[in-house]
Structures are given as C-alpha cells and as structure tokens.
Amino acid sequence: MPYRPLFALGLVLGLLGALVWIPPLAQALGVAPAALHPDLMIGGFLWQVAAGFLMTALPRFFGSLPAQRAEQLAAVGLGIALGAVSLMADRRPFHAVLLAQMLLVAGFGLRRARRRKVTPPPMFAFVALGLGCGLGGSALLLVSEAGGLGLRAAWWGRLLLYHGMMVALVLGVGSSLLTAMFGWAQPSLVKLGRPGELHGPGRPGRWREPGALLLLFALGLVLEGSGCSPAGGRALRALVVSWVALRAWRVLRRPRSPGWLVFWAWVGAGALVAGLWAQALLPGAAVHLVHLAFIAGLALMALMVAARVSLVHGGFGSAPERRSPALAGSGVLLVLAAAGRALAPAAGAGYDRHLAYAALVFAAALLLWSLAMLPRWLRPARGSAR
C-alpha cells in the first residue's frame, strides 16, 4: 500500500523541517532555516502524508482500481529524490521534484476519476483545487527561482503552495471523512470496484453550497495574492473553513466516536479554524499565529488521519486508536509545540531559543507517533490489505 513508504518519508522530512531550527544542527548542515523550513514542512511532511493518503483512498472514493506497483514505485522514488535535495541552498531541484511528484499524483487521481464507478460528493472538488494550488505554487516558485516572472510569482507560489494546497485538500476530503470519523455520518468510502449509492448523481442543486464555498475560497486567494485586500482574502478562507467546520464537522460539539485519535482530530479541526482567524484578524502577528493552524491544525489532523489509515488498512481495528498512549501523547505535544511557536515573540531576546524548544517538542511528537505506527507498518495484521 502506498501510504506506508510515503507516510514514512513525510515523517523524516517533518523531523528535518523542525530540527533545522536547532542552531547547532543548522550550523553543522550549513543551512538557512527560514528558507528550508516551509518547504520541508509543507512540500515534505504534509504533502507526503497527503500523497500517501490520496493514492490509498482515491480508488475507494471513485470505486476504481488501487494504485499499481509502477505508480507506487514512481511516487516513492520521487519522494526519496525530494528528500535527497531537501537541504540544498538552491531550491530549484526541490521544487522541480515536488512538481513532478504532484503531477504524478494528480494524473493518478485523474485516471481513477475517468474510470469511476462512484461519483464523490461535490465538496470533493476542493481536492482538485488543492492539487491545482500545489501544482501552480510549485511551478511558480520554480520559475521565479530560475529568474523568470519576478518577485510577484514567488509571492503567488508561496501563497498557493503553503497556504492554499493543504487547507483545500482538508476541506475536500475532510468534509466527508472527518464527519464520519467524528460519528456524524456513515463512512463515505466504498469498496473497490463496486458502485455505491452514497454518491450517486444526487439531487438538483447539490452543487450550490459547495460551489459557493469553492468560489469564496478561490476569491480569498486572489484578494491576498493580488494585494487588493490580504486581510479580506484571509478572512474569506477562514470563513469557508469555519462554515465546513460548523456544519459538517460540528466542531462545537464533542464527537460521538470515542478515542484519542478522534479527540485529537477534532481538536485539530478547531485549531485550524482558530489559527486561520488569528492570521486574518491580527496581521501584525500573522506569521506567528498561523502556526496554530499549521501545527495544531493541519499537522495534528494529518497524523490522526494517517493513524486511522494505518490501523484500518493494517487490519488492527479501532481498539488502538481509542486507547493508544502514543496517540494521546503526540496530540498533547503538538498542541504544546503550536502554542510555543505562536507565542515565541513574547520571549523577546530569547525568540530563537523559543523556536528551538518548539521544534524539539514537534519532533518529539512525530517520534512518539512513529513508535505507535511503525511496528504496524512493518507487521500488518494477518488478512490486511497489503
């Protein structure tokens, strides 16, 4: 299954992305943390986890064929190549490999969509938007670093890749997956190769709300990217996420489903909303407060969804996600890391040291999560989907 190697690559790149803030390590590697960190965390950690999830789950969303060996090898090979160039001062190789891997995953999804036996819900269009943000952002960064299109292209590239891609992917997949995880609806994934009834043609007008949300999210990116109203653009994106969080995820209510995994995914959904609003309403501290969305939101949700995928496809059932001390502890550590990073400016002269502390706590969360999942990747339960 493609999730195992890609999740593992994501963890390694996430550790690198955090640890470059440790001064002795950054000096030993001869790297500039500010230049590498966003690439390693978004294009490395979060995207590799997303790619592993998409290549595992898209066939089920579409009722199509699973990932073939050649597709898996190509995706993993590009992920390894990404890791190999991840610490280079010249960022062109990183963005070129990242663009190639995203093209591969997008092509993988497009082939399944064309041969689908099931039509996913309309909110799944956000997955296409997220992939488009990733592709466009990587391409713009690559072109700008090659000396073309100027600083505006780099600005747009960072906006699309760092702030558009993962949030859109979460909205697209999470509108049904997180709703089911929290116990508010039946799971929406279907068995491979069999048409289902959940996502048929549907009722007339079912695209109105998702279509409006999609346009508002895209408009938010345009307003911020064009410089017309950066605060307004951020507020629009926060509004869209809030709408989904309140209506689909019901974040103001404790989930029906029990267990640490569900609890921390729910906390992550709330932190994503809070972090995006903090970024929109407090522009002077936006670069710091948005880490509430990145760490306690996206990273926390990514790890909990990755744990669910690992346990379900590994054949381990739901018991570990309810009682696992490692999942409980990793959630606590990620929330602490998010708070430490968001409040780092309050440390004054100790700002850099505070970043290092937050990085160490984040790295500890990834390592603790790995202790729970790595043995299950290496030794799946008998009869599991391999």
Q: CA-to-CA distance for 90 and 146, rounded, in angstroms? A: 10
Q: What is the chain's pLDDT, residue by residue, as a tens digit (386 residues)? A: 889 999 999 999 999 999 999 988 888 888 888 889 999 999 999 999 999 999 999 998 899 999 999 999 999 999 999 999 999 989 999 999 999 999 999 999 999 999 988 888 899 999 999 999 999 999 999 999 988 778 889 999 999 999 999 999 999 999 889 999 999 976 544 333 343 444 445 566 788 999 999 999 999 999 999 999 999 999 999 999 999 999 999 999 999 999 999 999 999 999 999 999 999 999 999 999 999 999 999 999 999 999 999 998 888 877 778 888 999 999 999 999 999 999 999 999 999 999 999 999 999 999 999 998 988 888 776 555 55
How many domains does the chain divide into? 1
pLDDT of residue 269: 97
Instruction: Give a yes or no: residue 374 inside a domain.
Output: yes
Its pTM stands at 0.92
Instruction: Give a yes or no: residue 246 inside a domain.
Output: no
- The residue whose two tokens read 């670093």 is 145
pLDDT of residue 140: 96
pLDDT of residue 135: 98
Instruction: Give a yes or no: residue 157 inside a domain.
Output: no
- Calculate the dihedral angle through the C-alpha atoms of 128, 162, 214, 273, rounding to the nearest 10 degrees: 130
Instruction: Give a yes or no: residue 92 inside a domain.
Output: no
pLDDT of residue 238: 98
Q: CA-to-CA distance for 293 and 273, rounded, in angstroms? A: 7
Domain that holds residue 327: 253-379
Instruction: Give a yes or no: residue 16 inside a domain.
Output: no
Instruction: Give a yes or no: residue 146 inside a domain.
Output: no
User: Could you tell me if 67 and 55 are in contact, meaning their C-beta atoms sit under 8 angstroms apart?
Assistant: yes
Which residue type, as a one-letter code, is found at position 93? P
Instruction: Give a yes or no: residue 298 inside a domain.
Output: yes
Instruction: Give a yes or no: residue 260 inside a domain.
Output: yes
Secondary structure, 3-state, the chain: CCHHHHHHHHHHHHHHHHHCCCHHHHHHHCCCHHHHHHHHHHHHHHHHHHHHHHHHHHHHHHCCCCCCHHHHHHHHHHHHHHHHCCCCCCCHHHHHHHHHHHHHHHHHHHHHHHCCCCCCCHHHHHHHHHHHHHHHHHHHHHHHHCCCCHHHHHHHHHHHHHHHHHHHHHHHHHHHHHHHHCCCCCCCCCCCCCCCCCCCCCCCCCCHHHHHHHHHHHHHHHHHHHCCCHHHHHHHHHHHHHHHHHHHHCCCCCCCCCCHHHHHHHHHHHHHHHHHHHHHHCHHHHHHHHHHHHHHHHHHHHHHHHHHHHHHHHCCCCHHHHHCHHHHHHHHHHHHHHHHHHCHHHHHHHHHHHHHHHHHHHHHHHHHHHHHHHHHHHCCCCCCCC
Per-residue pLDDT tens over the stretch 24-50: 888 888 888 888 999 999 999 999 999
